[in-house]
Amino acid sequence: MTVSDTSTPAEVSGGAPPDARRARRLGRIGLLVNQRIGGAHGLQKRYLDNESLGRAEVAALRKGANRAPGELPEIWELTRVEVPDGAGDAPTREEIAVHTAMTLYAVHQQSRSECMFVPGRGLGRAAHELVGTNEENPSARARFNALVTSTTVAELRHHLRNLVSLLRSRGIALDHAMLADDIVRFQRPGGAKNVRLAWARQYYSLPADGAVSAPGIDHDTTSTNHASTSEN
Tens digit of pLDDT for each residue in 59-108? 999 999 999 999 999 999 999 999 988 888 999 999 999 999 999 999 99
Q: Does residue 220 belong to any structural domain of this protein? A: no
Residue 151 clears pLDDT 70, i.e. is over it: yes
The answer as to whether 211 is a domain residue is: no
Mean pLDDT of 132-141: 88
Q: Is the residue at 118 inside a domain?
A: yes
Residue 15 lies in a domain: no
In a domain, 5, yes or no: no
Do the domain assignments include residue 139? yes
Q: In this prediction, what percent of the chain has a pLDDT beyond 90?
A: 71
HSE of 121, CA atoms in CB hemisphere, 13 A: 22
Residue type, 81: V
Q: How many domains does the chain have?
A: 1
User: What pLDDT is attached to residue 105?
Assistant: 98
What's the confidence (pLDDT) of residue 21?
61
In this prediction, residues 142-150 reach a mean pLDDT of 96
At residue 230, does pLDDT exceed 90?
Answer: no
CA-CA distance, 144 to 107, in Å (whole number)?
A: 18
- pLDDT, mean over the chain: 84
Strand partners, 117: 174
Asked whether residue 81 is assigned to any structural domain, the reply reads yes
The CATH number of residue 78's host domain is 1.10.520.40
Indicate left, alpha or beta for 35 from its phi (over 0: left) and psi (-120 to 50: alpha).
Answer: alpha
13 within domain boundaries: no
The pLDDT of residue 179 is above 50: yes
- State the average pLDDT over residues 136-164: 95
Asked if the model's pLDDT at residue 9 lies above 50, the reply is no
Domain that holds residue 28: 22-203
pLDDT at 87: 85
pLDDT tens figures, 189-206:
999 999 999 999 999 986
b vs e for 160-171, b when ≥16 Cβ sit within 10 Å of the residue's Cβ? Answer: bbebbebbbeee
More confident residue, 145 or 206: 145
User: pTM here?
Assistant: 0.81
